[in-house]
Amino acid sequence: MTVQGLRRLSLGALSGLLAGYAALAVAELVAAAVRPESGPVVAVGGAAIDRTPAAVKDWAIRQFGTHDKLVLQLGILAVLCGLALFLGVLATRWRRIGSLGVLAFGVVGALAATGRPDSVGVADALPSVAGGLVGTALLYLLIGRLGPAEPPAATGEEADRSGFDRRGFILAATAAAAASTGAGLAGRALTGSQGRGAVASRKDVLLPAPSSSAAPTPRGAALRIKGISPFVTPNRDFYRVDTALVVPKVDATTWKLRIHGRGVARERTLTFDDLLRMPLIERSITLTCVSNEVGGPYVGNARWIGVPLADLLRQCGVRPPSEGGPADQLVARSVDGMTLGTPVEDVLDGRDAMLAVGMNGEPLPFVHGFPVRMLVPGLYGYVSACKWIKEIELTTFDAYDTYWVKRDWAPRAPVKTQSRIDTPKPFARPAAGTVMVAGVAWAQHRGIDKVEVRVDDGPWQEARLAAEDTRDTWRQWSYEWKADPGTHTLAVRATDRTGRTQTGRRTPTIPDGASGRHSVVVTVD
Ligand SMILES: Nc1nc2c(c(=O)[nH]1)N[C@H]1C(S)=C(S)[C@@H](COP(=O)(O)O)O[C@H]1N2
Ligand SMILES: [Mo]
């Protein structure tokens, strides 16, 4: 290949990159005007999450933890870079086809955005289409500066006769890069300013004192042992699991919750202030994710303040199936289109199901569902803990499959009895002698009755249980191990108040939560 041919290809690739960059920047700006969630990267990422098989989603959560969304977006950007390079090179040969390729990807973004469960309609297609058009035009223009595809054969040491308009190209490329950066930054700034109303509304929230406080945590519920999970999980350490690539920023002053559906004699629409004027309860509740592997981190305990959901539903005339009510499923819908389905019977059976407005003494953090989320002790998060809730619909399990149920997770999912060794850590090297083994065990709404530890193939030994707060919270435990030198396996199992001991049979998280025992291998020196 000639030097000029090579130059043409690399400038083509560069043009492709610039066109892709411009397309994304313009899309970002338009998305800021429409909705941040309608931008192509977020939309394609969201669509990918919607379509990810349960097993892959679980794998991603396992591999990347709470960074799973960042990894996904970086992956999408990497793929887009590759495609942009390719389209640029393609355009050096077929200017129109290569340029129109950029638009084709805009269309993909548009389809992804309009197909999301939270889509507001065709407006969501605008960012990707606008970006695609700008990118197409830019690539076409830049390639034009490179001259015709097959230049008159230049001979010998004759000057560059390929028709390459160097000045024009550099000017156009620089201007495009600058304008794109400007558009992208403007988009970011606009999106940021839109969240400001929500941020201000959160700052203005004054949580009323609950009319029913949680009993003080009993002395002895929180053990002082290095490495054990604190009894109350601080908000900043509380796990986060959701499908939201952009954390919804909901303004509490305009937020509304609608309650309707089968057997709702009196439909209601409530504002945030309406909720704060009702009698509030304060309760400690341990929340667990169904995607938590045995020994995994997706469990946390917080002190929540909220409106008792059962009272609210009874006021609306809702009766549980056991009292002849026609609805057996409560579907909670969030502002981002997520749906979660909870048994009506569980919500109305006397447990502290609530619409939570406070978490550990402050308004809900945005990532945990500000302004209002649902909580039902004893059920995994995906069937009970709707964040950014905006609607409650009473229906039946036969009539409606929620988001995760459509993706093969179980429609009903009470939390399985589980226990975890927090310390020592896997592959730790404690010194021989007394080693403190400790952790947490949970069986929400049944309560933990016993925890046992086993060393290698020895007998199960009863661990010391910390005082119980309530049966809806986890319980710390500890065991003083007289450790001999060598490599040992520590295993733990819990027994709940129904007398059932957690099974040693390992099952995957899908469809209704992992079972099996947590064990840790350590080498005693
Ligand atoms: N709107 C919305 N609510 C949601 C989810 C979600 O993806 N979107 N995820 C659920 C799941 S799977 C769990 S385990 C809990 C996690 O709550 P946290 O992130 O506050 O710990 O929220 C639940 N509520
Ligand atoms: Mo979850």
Cβ 403 under 6 angstroms from ligand 1: no
Q: Does residue 181 sit in helix, strand or coil?
A: helix
Among 138, 72, 74, residue whose Cα is nearest residue 106: 138
Among the candidates 176, 200, 224, a domain finishes at: 200
CA torsion through residues 179, 180, 182, 187, sign:
positive
Residue 331 maps to a domain: yes
Which pLDDT belongs to residue 158?
A: 47
Which pLDDT belongs to residue 100?
A: 96
CATH number of the domain that 330 lies in? 3.90.420.10
Q: What are phi and psi of 202, to 5 degrees?
A: -70, -40
Residue nearest to atom 7 of ligand 1 (CA): 242
Cβ 303 under 6 angstroms from ligand 1: no
Please give the C-alpha separations between residue 519 and each of 227, 348, 437, in angstroms, as whole numbers.
Answer: 16, 37, 11
| H/E element, 110 | helix 95-115
Q: How far apart are CA 302 and CA 286, in angstroms?
A: 6
Ligand (nearest to CA of 385)? 1
Q: How far apart are CA 143 and CA 394, in angstroms?
A: 58
Q: What are phi and psi of 88, to 5 degrees?
A: -60, -45
Q: Which of 240, 241, 287 to mutate to test the pocket of ligand 1 (most atoms within 8 A of CB)?
A: 241
Check if the beta carbon of residue 235 is closer than 8 Å to that of residue 354: no
Local structure of residue 221 (DSSP, 8 states): S
Residue 212 maps to a domain: no
Residue nearest to atom 13 of ligand 1 (CA): 381
375 and 298 inside one domain: yes
* Owning domain of residue 429: 418-524
Here the contacts of 401-406 (C-beta below 8 Å, separation 24 or greater) are: 401/341, 402/331, 402/339, 402/340, 402/341, 403/117, 403/243, 403/338, 403/339, 403/340, 404/340, 405/341
Report how far ligand 2's centroid is from the alpha carbon of 112 (Å): 24
Which atom belonging to ligand 1 lies closest to the Cα atom of 242? 7
32 and 69 inside one domain: yes
Report how far ligand 2's centroid is from the alpha carbon of 298 (Å): 8
CA torsion through residues 32, 34, 36, 41, sign:
negative
402 and 454 inside one domain: no
Cβ 477 under 6 angstroms from ligand 1: no
> Beta strand pairing status for 354-359 and 373-375?
antiparallel
Q: Which residue(s) pair with 256 in the sheet?
A: 271
Residue 51 maps to a domain: yes
Local structure of residue 231 (DSSP, 8 states): S
196 and 241 inside one domain: no
Please give the C-alpha separations between residue 141 and each of 99, 135, 160, 408, 474, in angstroms, as whole numbers.
Answer: 9, 10, 20, 48, 63
Q: Which of 68, 372, 382 to mutate to test the pocket of ligand 1 (most atoms within 8 A of CB)?
A: 382
Residue nearest to atom 8 of ligand 1 (CA): 242
| Furthest-apart CA atoms within the chain: distance in Å | 95
Residue nearest to atom 16 of ligand 1 (CA): 241
Q: What are phi and psi of 86, to 5 degrees?
A: -60, -45
Report how far ligand 1's centroid is from the alpha carbon of 385 (Å): 6
Cβ 238 under 6 angstroms from ligand 1: yes
Those residues whose C-beta lies under 8 Å from the C-beta of residue 47, and which sit 6 or more positions away, are 112, 115, 116
Q: How far apart are CA 240 and CA 406, in angstroms?
A: 22
Report how far ligand 1's centroid is from the alpha carbon of 387 (Å): 6
Among the candidates 200, 222, 245, a domain finishes at: 200
95 and 132 inside one domain: yes
188 and 257 inside one domain: no
Report how far ligand 1's centroid is from the alpha carbon of 384 (Å): 9
Concatenating the DSSP letter of every residue in 161-172 gives -S---HHHHHHH
User: Is the link from the previous residue into 459 a cis peptide, with omega within 30 of 0?
Assistant: no
395 and 249 inside one domain: yes
Q: How far apart are CA 336 and CA 117, in angstroms?
A: 7
Q: What are phi and psi of 357, to 5 degrees?
A: -120, -15
Residue nearest to atom 12 of ligand 1 (CA): 382
Cβ 374 under 6 angstroms from ligand 1: no
Cβ 441 under 6 angstroms from ligand 1: no
The number of distinct structural domains making up the chain is 3
Residue nearest to atom 1 of ligand 1 (CA): 387
198 dihedral zone (left: phi>0; alpha: psi -120 to 50; beta): alpha
pLDDT by 10s per residue, the chain, length 525: 788 889 999 999 999 999 999 999 999 999 988 888 889 988 888 888 888 877 777 787 777 777 788 888 888 899 999 999 999 999 999 999 999 999 999 999 999 999 988 888 889 999 999 999 999 999 999 999 998 876 555 554 444 567 888 999 999 999 999 999 999 999 988 888 878 999 999 999 999 999 999 988 899 999 999 999 999 999 999 999 999 888 999 999 999 999 999 999 999 999 999 999 999 999 999 999 999 999 999 999 999 999 999 999 999 999 999 999 999 999 999 999 999 999 999 999 999 999 999 999 999 999 999 999 999 999 999 999 999 999 999 999 999 999 999 999 999 999 999 999 999 999 999 999 999 999 999 999 999 999 999 999 999 999 999 999 999 999 999 999 999 999 999 999 999 999 999 999 999 999 999 999 999 999 999
359 and 426 inside one domain: no
Q: How far apart are CA 392 and CA 45, in angstroms?
A: 27
Burial class (CB in 10 A: 0-12, 13-18, 19+), 137: middle
Ligand (nearest to CA of 288)? 1
pTM: predicted TM-score of the whole model, two decimal places: 0.87
Encoded tokens for 478: 């500890």
Report how far ligand 2's centroid is from the alpha carbon of 358 (Å): 20
Among the candidates 200, 226, 257, a domain finishes at: 200
Q: How far apart are CA 181 and CA 174, in angstroms?
A: 11
> Beta strand pairing status for 486-496 and 519-524?
antiparallel
Check if the beta carbon of residue 373 is closer than 8 Å to that of residue 356: yes
Cβ 289 under 6 angstroms from ligand 1: yes
Cβ 513 under 6 angstroms from ligand 1: no
Which pLDDT belongs to residue 286?
A: 98
Which atom belonging to ligand 1 lies closest to the Cα atom of 248? 1
506 and 386 inside one domain: no
Residue 229 maps to a domain: no
Cβ 242 under 6 angstroms from ligand 1: yes
Cβ 393 under 6 angstroms from ligand 1: no
Report how far ligand 2's centroid is from the alpha carbon of 453 (Å): 27
Q: Does residue 78 sit in helix, strand or coil?
A: helix
Residue 206 maps to a domain: no
The 10 Å Cβ neighbour count of residue 2 is: 11
163 and 305 inside one domain: no
Among 437, 434, 433, residue whose Cα is nearest residue 464: 437
234 dihedral zone (left: phi>0; alpha: psi -120 to 50; beta): beta
389 and 270 inside one domain: yes
Residue nearest to atom 19 of ligand 1 (CA): 240
Residue 249 maps to a domain: yes
Residue 324 maps to a domain: yes
Amino acid at 404: W
CATH number of the domain that 507 lies in? 2.60.40.650
In the structure, ligand 2 is a single-atom ion and the residues with CB under 5 Å from it are 241, 289-290, 381-382
256 and 135 inside one domain: no
